[in-house]
Amino acid sequence: MRPAAGKPAWSLVIFTVFTQAAVGLFLVGTWLERGLARQGLAREIGTHLEVVLPVVLVLLATGFLAAFFHLGRPGAARFALANLKASWLSRELTLGVAFAGAVAVLAVAGKGERNTAGWYEAVQIGAIVLGLALVLAIAKVYMIRTVPAWNTAATPAAFLLTTLLLGPALFAGILSTTTPQIPAPVLTRLASFVSVAALCQVLVTATHVIRLIRQTGAARESAIVLLTIHGKALGLRVAGTLLGAVVLLGGIGTGRPEVTVAALGILIAAEFLGRALFYASHRRAGL
């Protein structure tokens, strides 16, 4: 699913960002659950994991609903599943359905199964693999040879960093609104995730634009479009990513949920803007 050249389709922005955020939230929640269990702190965070899985499913449902609206004939979406051997779009949709199914099973199983059933851990691990594969598949859909701005390692890197940035930010938002005191080990992990992912996202953005401007043809045209027509938006994208991370890190342990929620809003807005710029950079070589 791709928009017209240089025109960001907001339905696809919603689909890609929400889907990657859902995967990130699941990864962070699962990682924290397993890590804290080894430290005897699982009880402190276990109740919040009951909220995470439904939120993951809501994000996935919203994202795929937006993607269906992008289709010329939404009713024909089932045909996109018919070419798994050759189509990354088919793989993307199949992995999305499989990931959502695995998360739904975990959500329905509930706390009792989490603590006692061996199969729960197997499904959990499978969902992790499916989620990461889904993020890769979404990126591969856009890695087209004739679109040099997209056919680069920056595409999967940026998509993965959206996953790793919004996941912990969402989890921090959930914690800040459901518990008066975030456990110190959780705070440390979330802070590390957000700070590293934000810095890496800015670095990937900057190096990608520099790489494009040094080339010729469609690649250079994409860079010029980003730096001139969308220069202010690009600056806001970078500033928003850094500002959101700083605000989140400053407010995550203050006991003021409004600060954490505001930071989450800034980060989501920055990722939405970054994804819109990604679509706006579309320039086809040879045309």
- Do residues 60 and 203 touch, judged by C-beta distance below 8 A? no
Going by C-alpha positions, the residue among 122, 85, 99, 82 that lies closest to residue 18 is 99
Asked if 63 and 14 count as a contact pair (C-beta separation under 8 A), the reply is yes
Question: For residue 285, how many C-alpha atoms fall within 13 Å in the half-sphere facing its CB?
Answer: 14
Round to whole Å and give the CA distance between 226 and 235.
10
* pLDDT above 70 coverage of the chain, percent: 79
What whole-number distance in Å separates Cα of residue 161 and Cα of residue 170? Answer: 14
pLDDT in tens, 29-71: 888 777 665 655 555 555 566 788 999 999 999 999 988 876 6
Instruction: Write the pLDDT tens digit of every residue in 121-135.
Output: 889 999 999 999 999
Residues shown for the chain = 287
Neighbours of 86 (CB within 10 A): 8
Q: Is 98 exposed, middle or buried (0-12, 13-18, 19+ CB in 10 A)?
A: middle
Sign of the CA dihedral with 200 first, then 206, 209, and 212 last: negative
pLDDT-derived band at 210, boundaries 50, 70, 90: very high
- In one-letter notation, the amino acid at residue 131 is G
The CATH number of 10-280 is: 1.20.1630.10
pLDDT tens digits along 100-117: 999 999 988 865 555 556
Whether the model pTM is above 0.75: yes
| The one-letter amino acid at 204 | V
Residue pointed to by tokens 């509930």:
110
CB-count burial class (<10 Å; 0-12, 13-18, 19+) for 159: buried
Q: Are 22 and 60 in contact (CB under 8 A)?
A: yes
Question: What is the rounded average pLDDT of the residues 155-166?
Answer: 97
Closest CA to 29 of 174, 176, 245, 191: 174
